[in-house]
């Protein structure tokens, strides 16, 4: 049984895999103040839900964009499971070539997404990840991570709007039934949701034109992917656990070489 952990700025997602089968996944808040023991207890609680003991966990893989939490999760897994987790970086042998001007600037989550997307679809494939930031990335036909675009995430856009505009306020992040809002709540929701859809579809269209060949598939993942699916003209499938899937694949690729 493998623990896969994707640590983001807002949430951390924990997955349990039995070989390639996902047993369960859980979304936790990413708190800078969380202690090593709190992490250990959270992981134990997840394992308890599946009647698993610490001895049933044979490995762990982490992708993270929060260095302080990377260290905390690393220490917690070492302490509670006696395991040295795989911490994914641009230097990890992931099965893809990182074709990026400054490879160490590529987030581990973007690499894991690309590995999973390529395993599922081949390439060229576009991956849209709705996290604290929205990333739109491409993996090529011959297995190269080519880079992509980064934009403010849905929550970040909403928080920035309410912070900077004195007469606007936080609203629930729901997709409105129409774009022509008839009150402030509807108007903000329409601007955020349909504005995000327009951003995604434009980026996907421009990236496709720059690629100069048909894109095999456009996949979305992340907490807000469900909100725009069906509204976007370009997103074809949602895979909520794409990053975890990539971590699991990378772990087993490396284990098979040892």
Please list the active-site residues.
109
Tokens coding 43: 């992981």
Q: How many CB atoms sit inside 10 A of residue 52's CB?
A: 17
129/134 Cα distance (integer angstroms): 6
181 backbone dihedrals φ, ψ, rounded to 5°: -65, 140
Cβ-Cβ contacts under 8 Å for 154 (sequence gap 6 or more): 130, 134, 173, 192, 193, 196, 224, 227
In the sheet that holds 86-87, the strands lie side by side as: 21-29, 11-18, 2-7, 59-64, 86-87
CA–CA dist 195, 160 (Å, integer): 14
**In the structure encoding, which two tokens stand for residue 238, read together?**
């949602």
Any idea what DSSP says for residue 102?
A: S
Neighbours of 54 (CB within 10 A): 13
DSSP annotation string for 73-98: HHHHHHHHH----EE--TTS--SSEE
Distance CA 201, CA 77 (A): 40
19 three-class SS: coil
């Amino acid at each position: 049984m493998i623990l896969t952990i994707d640590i983001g700025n807002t949430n951390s997602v924990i997955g349990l895999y039995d070989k390639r089968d996902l047993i369960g996944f859980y979304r936790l808040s990413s708190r800078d103040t969380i202690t090593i023991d709190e992490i250990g207890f959270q992981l134990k609680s997840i394992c308890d839900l599946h009647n698993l003991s610490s001895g049933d966990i044979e490995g762990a893989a982490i992708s993270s964009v929060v260095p302080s939490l990377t260290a905390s999760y690393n220490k917690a897994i070492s302490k509670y499971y006696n395991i040295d987790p795989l911490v994914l970086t641009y230097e990890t042998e992931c099965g893809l070539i990182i074709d990026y001007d400054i490879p160490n600037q590529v987030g581990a989550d973007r690499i894991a997404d690309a590995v999973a997307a390529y395993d599922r679809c081949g390439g060229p494939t576009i991956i849209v990840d709705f996290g604290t930031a929205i990333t739109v990335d491409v993996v090529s036909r011959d297995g190269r991570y080519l880079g992509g675009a980064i934009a403010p995430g849905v929550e970040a856009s909403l928080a920035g709007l309410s912070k900077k505009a004195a007469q606007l306020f936080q609203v629930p992040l729901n997709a409105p039934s129409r774009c022509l809002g008839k009150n402030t709540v509807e108007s903000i929701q329409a601007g955020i949701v349909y504005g995000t859809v327009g951003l995604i579809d434009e980026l996907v269209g421009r990236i496709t034109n720059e690629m100069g060949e048909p894109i095999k598939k456009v996949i979305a993942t992340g907490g807000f992917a469900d909100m725009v699916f069906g509204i976007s003209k370009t997103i074809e499938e949602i895979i909520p656990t794409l990053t975890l899937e990539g971590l699991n694949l990378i772990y087993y690729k490396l284990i098979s070489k040892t």
